[in-house]
């Protein structure tokens, strides 16, 4: 009795990936350079391999901290859409507390945002920021478009 060895010619068919199946992310060793010899003196680590005590700006913000003028301590690199991407890391112990705006600053910001919601044509607060590409609210822009198209047709 003979055993079946797959398709003719000895070629094996490659398994198809299921829809929705995720690829496993490999460790990219090009980005592991703790001395910084090949990355301009900046220590470089692959994604999720940075040592303790270092954080990105967003991670510092979540801790209510800011870099505070300190230089970049290291960087994390990974591949995004086929190109290398980078995130800079700062020392947590050298980070300073996040600045808290004064009441006058908060009031000025609120006033500026309110001014961006007022249409210059109709003068109404439309409830959304007016697109700079239109220069007026959507209703006024559509009215301008309708009047322009009716003039062109006449």
The larger pLDDT score, comparing residue 144 to residue 29, is at 144
8 A C-beta contact, residue 72 and residue 105: no
pLDDT digits over 36-72, tens only?
Answer: 788 788 899 998 888 999 999 999 999 999 999 999 9
Q: Determine the pLDDT at residue 110.
A: 96
Q: Determine the pLDDT at residue 29.
A: 73
Closest by CA position to 120, among listed 144, 95, 98, 97: 144
Q: Determine the pLDDT at residue 15.
A: 64
Q: Determine the pLDDT at residue 119.
A: 94
Phi, psi angles (nearest 5°) of residue 123: 75, 15
pLDDT at residue 10 greater than cutoff 60: no
pLDDT digits over 73-132, tens only?
Answer: 999 999 888 898 999 999 999 999 999 999 999 999 999 999 999 999 999 999 999 999
Q: Determine the pLDDT at residue 23.
A: 60
Q: Determine the pLDDT at residue 8.
A: 62
Residue 15 to residue 34: CA distance in whole angstroms = 38
- DSSP labels for the chain? -PPP-SSGGGPPPPPPPPTTPPPPPPP-GGG-BTT-TTTTT--EEETT-PPTTEE-HHHHHHTTEE-TTPPP-EEEEEEETTEEEEEEEEETTT-EEPP---HHHHHHHHHHHHHTTB-TTT--B-SSPPPTTTSS-HHHHHHHHHHHHHHHH-
Residue 31 to residue 28: CA distance in whole angstroms = 6
Q: Determine the pLDDT at residue 113.
A: 95
Q: Which residues contact 95 (CB under 8 A, 6 or more apart)?
A: 55, 60, 63, 65, 66, 67, 68, 70
Q: Determine the pLDDT at residue 40.
A: 82
Confidence of residue 13 (pLDDT cuts 50, 70, 90): low
Q: What is the pTM of this model?
A: 0.59
């Amino acid at each position: 009795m003979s055993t079946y060895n797959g398709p003719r010619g000895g070629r094996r068919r490659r398994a198809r990936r299921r829809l929705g199946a995720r690829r496993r992310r490999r460790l990219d060793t090009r980005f592991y350079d703790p001395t910084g010899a090949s990355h301009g003196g900046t220590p470089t680590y692959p994604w999720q391999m940075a040592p303790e005590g270092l954080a990105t700006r967003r991670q510092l913000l979540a801790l209510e901290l800011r870099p505070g003028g300190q230089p970049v301590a290291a960087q994390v690199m990974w591949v995004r859409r086929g190109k290398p991407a980078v995130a800079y890391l700062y020392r947590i112990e050298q980070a300073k507390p996040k600045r808290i705006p004064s009441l006058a600053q908060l009031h000025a910001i609120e006033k500026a945002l309110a001014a961006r919601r007022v249409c210059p044509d109709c003068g109404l607060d439309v409830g959304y920021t007016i697109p700079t590409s239109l220069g007026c609210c959507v209703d006024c822009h559509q009215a301008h478009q309708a009047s322009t198209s009716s003039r062109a047709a006449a």
